[in-house]
Structure 1
Amino acid sequence: MPTDRLGQLTHLVMTRFTLVKGTVKLDDSATFTVQINPADFKHTAGITYDKKKTQGDAQASPKFSSVGDEHVSFSLVLDGTGVVPPGANGQREDVRTQMKKLNAVAYQYLADTQEPPYVRLLWGSLIFFGRLESLNTQYTLFKPSGEPLRARVELSFLGAMSKEESQLVSNRTPPGGARSITVVDGDTLPQICAEHCGDADMAADVARANNLPTLMSVAPGTQLLVPASR
């Protein structure tokens, strides 16, 4: 199980975000911290190739076409029996309350956009930006009254990239160009993005585009691809 620098157990956190002018803006008021971490998760990605053959060729040489969709899926257990320690807020919550909070962060349509929300998943080395693709709930334990005491929730998320991130991952040149920089001791991504991109809020985009597990401590000598200053 992932732990922090002090060796404490960390929990998977889902945070709603919006894309403002192509940049990720986290909404820290809309988060859901799981009570019990997933036993495992599945992260899949794909690449599309152009496999057209010219007449007379025995076998085509695949040519890169585009980066395919990314998916993350996992199962959660929501417990309301009182056996599991309280969640991040220190309060014991029943299964219905936990489901309501999960739906509010990942599933419910937003009034201003009339669309499901964008969600960031953060757990250990996993940083994933996407949107909920499916949510299946199986209630497995009940009170005599019929109130659920435990539920198993299967979730699948489809990756969602900002414009800048998509350009970096696809190795396309954004307006103004892109460049490679070398991280020096003490650098953090927000500092790097403020200096080289003109916007510290692009840190989340650059982190995922460069497959970095954290926004803060980046190993000196690391080569990063960043967009040019706006």
Structure 2
Amino acid sequence: MTASPVTFTAAGSPAGRGGGPPPQLTHAYLQLHEPPRNGGTASPGPQLGRIPFQFNPKELALTKTAKWKRDAQRNAKKSGVPEFTGSDPCKLSLEMFFDATDTMDSSVVKRVEELFACCVPTDASRQQKKGSPPWVVFHWGGMVGFPSFVSSVSAKYTLFTPGGTPVRALCTVTLEEISGELAGQNPTSGALAARDIHVVVAGDTLHSVAYQAYGRAGLWRQIAEANDIDDPMRLRPGTALLVPAPEELSARGQ
């Protein structure tokens, strides 16, 4: 089984070694997904599109914290023994810079509105009476972030046309991990076990991923179903696949 990443996963190998061609510029983007139809945290729904970075980020700020509890001891000279109570989700903060001084149009405003739309329920989720904003995954070349939601967006417009149209903006976006790991569950409760992530590399197939995860290539359909894959022959390198846990398949009798 592939190991679950704490922050990022990476696919492919470094380019430009041994006198080869230098690596090509790859622009980062935010991949948007419909939230899961069942309202859980097992796997994202179909892709909704992407928000590209006009300029790649200069830095990425990652945070993860652990929760500890320590009870005061009335008659002790030292504090009590700390007790670990859990981990908070990872958070990724980044900046997106948009500039339209060459066209002087409203494209910057449209990009900012796309980011703000990540904080409101999608139309499909509202129709299902399970309103939820889209899931978001950060991509940059072979680097793939964790499934997350946009917890905050702030936009600062810094340049305007004579008519007042913003043509330059700096946006600060915070993504918060949607954790798929559950504590121990009653086998009869129907709760999903934790799922791993496999990042597709050149040459991967659903059959090979299934064999690597379960030792049985014939279980590729379960991976396809978990990722809403209609065409198993089209796997793009860099794609993050959610791999159901073996316990989940056992519960289904597979």
TM class, shorter-length: 0.5 to 0.7
Alignment of structure 1 residues 211-230 onto 2, 5 Å = 215=240, 226-228=245-247, 229=249, 230=252
Quote how far apart the aligned CAs of 1:100 are.
3.3
Which stretch has the larger CA shift, 144-153 or 24-33?
A: 24-33
* Equivalent position to 1:100, from 99, 103, 113: 113
CA contact (8 A) 2:112 2:171 kept: no
Q: Which residue pairs with 1:166 in the alignment?
A: 181
CA contact (8 A) 1:96 1:148 kept: yes
Q: Cα RMSD (Å) of the superposition?
A: 4.0
Query: How many angstroms apart in 2 are the aligned matches of 1:227 and 1:59?
Result: 43
Query: How many angstroms apart in 2 are the aligned matches of 1:198 and 1:50?
Result: 44
Quote how far apart the aligned CAs of 1:20 are.
4.2
* Equivalent position to 2:154, from 136, 139, 152: 136
CA contact (8 A) 2:101 2:168 kept: yes
Q: TM-score, normalised by structure 1?
A: 0.65
Q: Which has the larger radius of gyration?
A: 2
Query: How many angstroms apart in 1 are the aligned matches of 2:221 and 2:85?
Result: 31
Superposed CA offset, 1:164-191 (max 9, x none): x222xx6x46749979x9x9xx877842
Quote how far apart the aligned CAs of 1:51 are.
2.0
Q: Which residue pairs with 1:81 in the alignment?
A: 101
Amino acid at match of 1:80: A
Amino acid at match of 2:85: S
Q: Which residue pairs with 2:52 in the alignment?
A: 33
In structure 1, the gaps of 5 or more residues are: 84-91, 204-212, 217-223
Q: Which residue pairs with 1:109 in the alignment?
A: 121
Q: Secondary structure at the match of 1:100?
A: helix
Q: Secondary structure at the match of 1:146?
A: coil
Query: How many angstroms apart in 2 are the aligned matches of 1:3 and 1:9?
Result: 16
Seen in structure 2, the aligned counterparts of structure 1 residues 116 and 82 have a Cα distance that, compared at 3 Å, is same
Superposed CA offset, 1:105-161 (max 9, x none): x23332323332222222253412222121111111122121111111111122222
Quote how far apart the aligned CAs of 1:8 are.
2.2
Alignment of structure 1 residues 174-193 onto 2, 5 Å = 175=187, 190-191=209-210, 192-193=212-213
Superposed CA offset, 1:16-37 (max 9, x none): 2222454213432322121111
Which stretch has the larger CA shift, 150-159 or 111-120?
A: 111-120
Q: TM-score, normalised by structure 2?
A: 0.60
Seen in structure 2, the aligned counterparts of structure 1 residues 227 and 63 have a Cα distance that, compared at 3 Å, is farther
Q: Which residue pairs with 2:139 in the alignment?
A: 122
Percent of paired sites with the same residue: 22
Q: Secondary structure at the match of 1:30?
A: strand
Quote how far apart the aligned CAs of 1:62 are.
2.2
* Equivalent position to 1:13, from 22, 25, 29: 29
CA contact (8 A) 1:4 1:10 kept: no
Q: Which residue pairs with 2:66 in the alignment?
A: 47
CA contact (8 A) 1:193 1:200 kept: no
Amino acid at match of 1:13: Y
Which stretch has the larger CA shift, 193-202 or 125-134?
A: 193-202
If each structure's strand is expressed as a fraction of its own residues, which one has the higher value?
A: 1
* Equivalent position to 1:72, from 81, 85, 92: 92
In structure 2, the gaps of 5 or more residues are: 1-9, 16-22, 228-237
How many residue pairs match? The answer is 194
Q: Secondary structure at the match of 2:43?
A: strand
